[in-house]
Amino acid sequence: MPCRLDSPVSSHPAPAAALPAALAWVEAELDTIRAAGLERPARVRQGRQGREVTLDGHTLVNFGSNDYLGYAGDVRLTKAASKGACAEGFGAGASPLVSGHSLAHERLEQALADLLAVEAALVFPSGFAANTATIAALVSPGDFIASDARNHASIIDGCRLSRAEVGIYPHRDMAALDALLAAQPQARRRLIVTDTLFSMDGTRAPLADLCDIADRHRAMLLVDEAHATGVFGDRGSGLVEATNCAAGVHVRVGTLSKALGAAGGFVAGPATFIHWLRHAARAWIFSTAHPPAIAAAATKAIELVAAEPHRREELAARAAAFRERLVSAGLDISGAEAQIVPIVARAPEAAVALSAALAAAGFFVPAIRPPSVPHGRSLVRASVCWHHSDDDLTTLANAVIRHAHCD
Ligand SMILES: Cc1ncc(COP(=O)(O)O)c(C=O)c1O
């Protein structure tokens, strides 16, 4: 029997007190955000999410979470987590370097290494921390990073943190990447970083070309499989596996928080590299390990990915049919090629209006606005998940098409 969260949550928070003088500038910043149509609501979810989600008391069909395989609310993960908590307590108590690395974490790292068919893996408190810490460990001033223009914020922040020189190449433009690297012969180390499945566009990185370019320029290649882990490949390890590119990718980052339905991030690669990372990745050294219960739940999700390949197969088929329906109605889905399906609205107000119209039709499909996407590229992002029915997808596609054609 799933547990219920019954404590009442007020949707009318108390009015905020006046800010102290030292923080008065915050009001002006918020006014600017509101004037640009970019204020974000703080929604509260009630209960477990799956096909449906209840937000601020409204229950809608859920196209807003990254729960691609439907494991976030799966009771098998809850049971694994409570068993893990009973065995090892709840808090990790310290950084993995000190006493936070439990048996549950050790098992999870082994399960990840097996899933990705690499020698070793290292677990971080979040995917965000895995990216920032790893990039900042790999390069520093005197080095050069080439980064896709649509990479995730955690990659961008990792690049900034490293203080290496950063060259941005237009989204998936391999000729531009080649030219950027050719102009950096003096750099001590060169690093190419890319999402494998882009989080806002649903496009895939050209991995075979990236491996070839990395090889020719003697550059390191780090890929972020956050949205691909669990979803692609015969084993379900991601797009590196699905495209047969494991030999040319040096470092794989991923997250346990999306298709795996748990939380935390990981880095996977050669054992010697992972051993070195334990001495260099500051978010691993100086941050408390995530709770062992979460590691136990993530390990259970990896088992389920192996045992239930039909989930990723069905997901791929449903997402393809959904994209096809939108494209044949003339909608701009930004070249999406996977379960992330954006409907490009351009202006933030248009994205918010489309999202509101879809909510009125019974669907939660969030509007994504700057800074999550560049100015002029606001969109509504539908995350297709395994638990959506064909009927959900057809009804949603029809609602999107109706709104677009009335606009
Ligand atoms: C491409 C990408 N990388 C990393 C992350 C961060 O992962 P986490 O949510 O586990 O911190 C995200 C999260 O949205 C993402 O989209």
Residue 201 CA to ligand 1 center (angstroms) comes to 14
Q: Identify the DSSP state of 21.
A: G
Residue 154 CA to ligand 1 center (angstroms) comes to 7
Helix, strand or coil for residue 224? strand
154 lines ligand 1 (CB under 6 A): yes
Instruction: State if pTM tops 0.85.
Output: yes
| ω into 370 cis (within 30 of 0) | no
Which residues participate in catalysis according to the annotation? 199, 227, 258
Residue 18 CA to ligand 1 center (angstroms) comes to 34
State the pLDDT at residue 7: 47
State the pLDDT at residue 371: 87
Dmax (CA) for the chain in angstroms is: 62
96 lines ligand 1 (CB under 6 A): no
Residue 288 CA to ligand 1 center (angstroms) comes to 19
Give the domain ranges of the chain: 44-69+309-406, 75-307
**Rounded CA gap, 169 and 149, in Å?**
6
Q: Identify the DSSP state of 301.
A: H
What is 44-69+309-406's CATH number, 1.10.10.10, 3.40.50.300, 3.90.1150.10, 2.60.40.10?
3.90.1150.10
Structure tokens at 10: 């007020």
Hey, which of 65, 124, 128 would you mutate to test ligand 1's pocket, going by the most ligand atoms within 8 Å of its Cβ? 128
pLDDT digits (tens, 9 = 90+) for 122-165: 999 999 999 999 999 999 999 999 999 999 999 999 999 999 99
Tell which atom from ligand 1 comes closest to the C-alpha of 195: 1
Find the angle CA(118)-CA(308)-CA(343) to the nearest 5 degrees.
90
226 lines ligand 1 (CB under 6 A): yes
300 lines ligand 1 (CB under 6 A): no
Beta carbons of 174 and 213 less than 8 angstroms apart: yes
134 lines ligand 1 (CB under 6 A): no
State the pLDDT at residue 171: 97
pLDDT in tens, the chain (407 residues): 344 444 444 555 567 899 999 999 999 999 999 998 888 888 999 999 999 999 999 999 999 999 999 999 999 999 999 999 999 999 999 999 999 999 999 999 999 999 999 999 999 999 999 999 999 999 999 999 999 999 999 999 999 999 999 999 999 999 999 999 999 989 999 999 999 999 999 999 999 999 999 999 999 999 999 999 999 999 999 999 999 999 999 999 999 999 999 999 999 999 999 999 999 999 999 999 999 999 999 999 999 999 999 999 999 999 999 999 999 999 999 999 999 999 999 899 999 999 999 999 999 999 999 988 988 999 999 999 999 999 999 999 999 999 887 76
152 lines ligand 1 (CB under 6 A): yes
State the pLDDT at residue 42: 87
Are 44-69+309-406 and 75-307 in the same CATH fold? no
Residue 344 CA to ligand 1 center (angstroms) comes to 21
| Phi/psi-derived region of residue 354, left when phi > 0, alpha when psi is between -120 and 50, beta in every other case | alpha
Residue 183 CA to ligand 1 center (angstroms) comes to 31
**Rounded CA gap, 122 and 89, in Å?**
21
pLDDT digits (tens, 9 = 90+) for 334-391: 999 999 999 999 899 999 999 999 999 999 999 999 988 988 999 999 999 999 999 9
| Architecture (CATH level 2) of domain 75-307 | 3-Layer(aba) Sandwich (3.40)
Hey, which of 251, 258, 372 would you mutate to test ligand 1's pocket, going by the most ligand atoms within 8 Å of its Cβ? 258
Beta carbons of 341 and 323 less than 8 angstroms apart: yes
The strand ranges marked E within 238-303 are 251-255, 265-269
State the pLDDT at residue 1: 38
262 lines ligand 1 (CB under 6 A): no
User: What are the CA-CA distances from residue 369 to residues 14, 67, 157, 322, 376 (Å)?
Assistant: 27, 21, 19, 23, 9
128 lines ligand 1 (CB under 6 A): yes
Hey, which of 159, 204, 257 would you mutate to test ligand 1's pocket, going by the most ligand atoms within 8 Å of its Cβ? 257
132 lines ligand 1 (CB under 6 A): no
